[in-house]
Amino acid sequence: MDVRREIAALLGQPISDIAPLGGGCVSAVYEVRLDDGRHVVVKADDSGAGNLPVEAFMLGYLAERGLPAPAVVAASERLLVMEYVAGDSLFDAAAESHAAHLLAALHAHTAPAFGFDRDTLIGGLRQPNAPAASWLDFFAGQRLIYMATEAARAGRLPVTTRARVERLAGRVGDWLVEPVRPALIHGDVWTTNVLARGGRVAAFLDPAIYYADPEIELAFIGLFGTFGRVFYDQYHALRPIAPGFFEERRDLYNLYPLLVHVRLFGGSYVGQVERTLAAYGF
């Protein structure tokens, strides 16, 4: 792909400067300055997967509901052009507190069912969202079993481990309870998907949206240490976290993002999945 030429054609504007940005594990990412002075970020993907229009939709959906996200300038099958948002992925106490307020507000948005009215993406992978009345059924089938099956099909998860995931999925009700209502989640809140500046969150990037139990979002935030105690304390003050989350439910919810990482990368994530299964008796 001639990225410079395709960006100029999509925007109808010559490029004055272009430089690669880090952090794009699925698509190539560029910082671009246009001749008219605009400063944008461009994702390029010539795989034919058609993921970029889905990402553009998700960013717009979150922004319409009050979560700071880069504005989409233009999108095609091969390019996603977004406004440039200044910031970095370093969070002081003020930024963590702001993130808690933003996500608590996001989680107040609800829907008639768990899932979504279309499939979305996580890490460039299809994320099925067939609407379901039961969160436990949705999480077991469309998150745990689905992603374990995809990871096994890709040759990155042993079929015996996939069978263990299926057995655990059949018993999630031993630890989880049905939430009162579905909540809108970002779905992929980890360090490099959040930008902060001056003690405020400037933008959330790379969403993986659907309506869920918001505890799955809180669990993933802790998996890679994105935010710490300040975040959880402030979130709890706004939307109380039910007892037992950290002790019983967090690791079970994190089995899903671990399976996503197995499907994408394999390696040591398989061991983390197997240790989680063993901790729950499977």
Catalytic residues: 188
Residue 33: Cβ-neighbour burial (10 angstroms; 0-12, 13-18, 19+):
middle
Q: To the nearest 10°, report the CA torsion of 229, 230, 234, 235.
A: -50
- Tokens representing 148? 């374990």
CB atoms near residue 206 (< 10 Å): 26
The CA distances from residue 119 to 114, 122, 185, 207, 234, in Å, are: 12, 10, 14, 13, 32
Beta strands 210-212 and 200-204 are unpaired
Contact between residue 50 and residue 75 where contact means Cβ atoms under 8 Å apart: no
The CA distances from residue 99 to 54, 96, 201, 209, in Å, are: 24, 5, 6, 17
Distance, CA of 32 to CA of 41 (rounded, Å): 6
